[in-house]
Structure 1
Amino acid sequence: MTHTLGDAVYGCLIGGAVGDALGAPVEGWTHERIEEEYGTLEEFKQYYMPYSKTDPGSITSDTALRHYLCLAVVEAEGRVYPPDFAEVLRQHLNPDRVWINEEIVVKKISAGVNPWDTGRGTIPDNKMTGAVTPIGIVNAANPEQAYQDGLTIASMMQESPHRHASAAVAAGIAEAVTPEATIGSVVGTMMEQSTGIIERGMDIALGFAETSQSVDELVETLYDQFLDWQWPGVQWDRERYGAGELFSASPIETVPTAVAILALCDGDVNRSIIEGVNYGRDSDAVATVTGSIAGALHGASEIRTGWKTQCEESNRDFFEELEDDPDADFETMADRLKDSIESEYRKAATRRGELERLLGDTD
């Protein structure tokens, strides 16, 4: 890729936000229902949450949680651990902006539960899977460390194997922001850094992508052959949706699906977002993952200008609430994350000097 690091980081953040906001109005819908209603949905729509009316282009809890984690990274000036993220959540979290799972986790933290243990017993939702991308950004060019840090942070909100899906996304972002990255290298990195059921799920979904002539064919195959692959003999009902149903709102579905869509779209950022939205089911989660990865890979400069402008304008209230700054937005957060990468570079240089002295002393 020829874009700059700043463009890649901004692309990751705004691409994820666009996918989230586009997918929100049809969350829980099937692919067929979206097609019947809109043909192909690629414009922001009004949608409703239990606590408020939400204007077109507004983010959901997926992106809100991501930016709480972004704030933790920039305040730590680099890599973060559960206590860092817990402190930001304690100070800044608006419970109206997250789902019940994350609200419960914050209540656990407030009650004195160790942040390293708060993910035990949680609902297997996708919020952390979409939110983990700043961990990949701050570990740019180091997907192995991104996976480890992603697994650690995801463990605050998820249990295995769902946290491994989040860690794989972090590893993919760490690769995607590098200059020579391709969609092949990103997918390969996610496979290499994954494990167990998540690796198997991605392998199955990618196999379907290889034999599909179109994304519509891929989606039909995923609906018919993928979503109940873990439970042979169990009848899956595509009309049922909810955290308690098989795979619904689960990273075991979302990450392999997103990876397969990215592969079939060759990482094209705008197409990947649209196809992620129109896949349906947890549509905002799928699209926020495809948008984040493809946005990091190709940069914000490749994302539709109208999407970026409307998404920035529609979410200024969130950033002012988060940072107490009326000028804060996705782009300024990207600049701050880039500063965190530079901070990690300085830390690495300092450690290199210490190791050189240590090794010199042994000669």
Structure 2
Amino acid sequence: MIDFDRAALERFRSRVRGCLVGGAVGDALGAPVEFMHLDRIRDEYGPDGLTDIVTGDSGVALVTDDTQMTLFTVDGLIRASVRADRGVVHPPSVVYRAYLRWLDTQRLPAPPPDVSGWLAAQPWLYNRRAPGNACLSGLSSPGMGTPHQPKNPDSKGCGTVMRSAPFGLYPQPSATPEAVFDLSVKCATQTHGHPTGYLAAGAFAAIIRTLVDGEDLRAAVTVALDLLATRTGHEETTAALRSALVAADDNPRSPDAIERLGGAWIAEEALAIGVYCALSYPDPAEVREALLLSVNHSGDSDSTGSICGNILGTWHGETALPPDWVAVVEGRGAILELADDWAMEQTQSPQLHGDHGPYTEWLRRYPA
């Protein structure tokens, strides 16, 4: 186990919290306009488009499958870490089981009596919020998809990218950008088999991993591009990320530039738009503006908002997020609890399990 001083622990936890809460905020911000053309968004919300987060009668801004699957990714990765204490572990298989628990939330009205772990026992997760067809079919069909036998081999939807930020949330030097790229790719093939779909997920994980180290976003994208260059079928993802960099230089802060990057229904476009919007407003004081830019377009607004929020929250930490939006996002307490559990597992696990024996409270939360 790596020895962290208190300052390093606090920085790491702030980035983890920022990533998960930021993704949920961006997701909830974009959800009401997900299937709307930009002209319709402006007709409904005014010439500037959507300018604030939308809450329902309960005062809560609802998240979608993007946040749901992201949280179950974290749950699976924590269980893989716990399981490693007990012998050989295959993380993609453990994450796959976590995704099957997410699938239950889309099929069942409430947590089953024999639910496994604390996250799957959260009633608010048992809501179907327009989940992607490839995610549903890939997890519903028999067997686990792998790089050698991926599910939905022609699919490159953004469902791979929007759930993959947690693969990058490892503290330095416990996992390299290359390692998290590989793990994200393996888990993406469980639902999407097109190279662009799973390589975009790997690139996103590498970007998040580099941001965790304190690098800026352009440096993180460079790391991802270098890793992509070694992979067969990388051309579409590489071209999309390069277009995002050019657009941020040439056409900053423009909804029209987003339209030229694509609709974000496919993986590389969603990643490119999230990167472009974060680069267009790179200052920590401009997170609100970046998130609004990321959802005011004619495509998959909740996914681009989620990806942009993951990036900005990791880059700048949780305190850079708009507090009035954080306060109303659905499931905030559970998201923060999971973020803190991830940070503790990655930095203080000997005090949670291992030498303390096999029947601690931690193992009831994350059965191995």
TM-score (norm 2): 0.74
Distance 2:310 2:261 in 1: 23
- Name the counterpart of 2:151: 119
Q: 1:344 to 1:278 in 2, by over 3 A?
A: farther
Native 8 Å contact 2:96 2:144 kept in 1: no
- Name the counterpart of 2:340: 335
Given candidates 188, 196, 199, the residue that maps to 2:238 is 199
- Name the counterpart of 1:307: 325
Native 8 Å contact 1:61 1:127 kept in 2: no
Q: 1:139 to 1:173 in 2, by over 3 A?
A: same
Q: Residue by residue, what CA displacement relative to the aligned partner does 1:258-311 show, whole Å, maximum 9, x if unpaired?
A: 212222212643222111111341011111111001100101111111111111
- Name the counterpart of 1:43: 52
Amino acid in structure 2 at the alignment position of 1:281: G
Aligned-pair CA distance for 1:107? 1.4
Given candidates 170, 175, 185, the residue that maps to 2:205 is 170
Distance 1:123 1:99 in 2: 11
Q: 1:200 to 1:345 in 2, by over 3 A?
A: farther
Is 1:27 aligned to residue 31 of structure 2?
Answer: no
Distance 1:344 1:190 in 2: 29
After TM superposition, list the pairs within 5 Å mapping 1:99-178 onto structure 2: 99-108=132-141, 111=142, 113-116=143-146, 117-121=149-153, 123-138=155-170, 140=172, 142-159=176-193, 160-178=195-213
Native 8 Å contact 1:262 1:290 kept in 2: yes
Distance 1:304 1:226 in 2: 26
Q: Residue by residue, what CA displacement relative to the aligned partner does 1:230-257 show, whole Å, maximum 9, x if unpaired?
A: xxxxxxxxxxxxxxxxx66111211112
Q: 1:304 to 1:222 in 2, by over 3 A?
A: closer
Is 1:75 aligned to residue 91 of structure 2?
Answer: no
Give the secondary-structure state (helix, strand or coil) at the position aligned to 2:327.
helix
Native 8 Å contact 1:173 1:293 kept in 2: yes
Native 8 Å contact 2:139 2:190 kept in 1: no
Q: 1:103 to 1:40 in 2, by over 3 A?
A: same
Distance 1:174 1:248 in 2: 22
Distance 2:59 2:92 in 1: 33
Amino acid in structure 2 at the alignment position of 1:294: L
Distance 1:121 1:184 in 2: 31
Bigger Cα displacement from structure 2, 68-77 vs 1-10: 1-10
- Name the counterpart of 1:87: 97
Q: 1:306 to 1:152 in 2, by over 3 A?
A: same
Amino acid in structure 2 at the alignment position of 1:114: M
Cα RMSD over matched residues?
A: 2.8
TM-score (norm 1): 0.75
In structure 2, the gaps of 5 or more residues are 1-6, 85-89, 107-127, 229-233, 352-368
In structure 1, the gaps of 5 or more residues are 48-52, 228-246, 317-327, 347-363
Distance 2:77 2:21 in 1: 17
Give the secondary-structure state (helix, strand or coil) at the position aligned to 2:347.
helix
- Name the counterpart of 1:252: 268
Aligned-pair CA distance for 1:118? 4.8
Q: 1:140 to 1:310 in 2, by over 3 A?
A: farther
Instruction: Choose between structure 1 and 2: higher helix proportion.
Output: 1
Aligned-pair CA distance for 1:8? 0.6
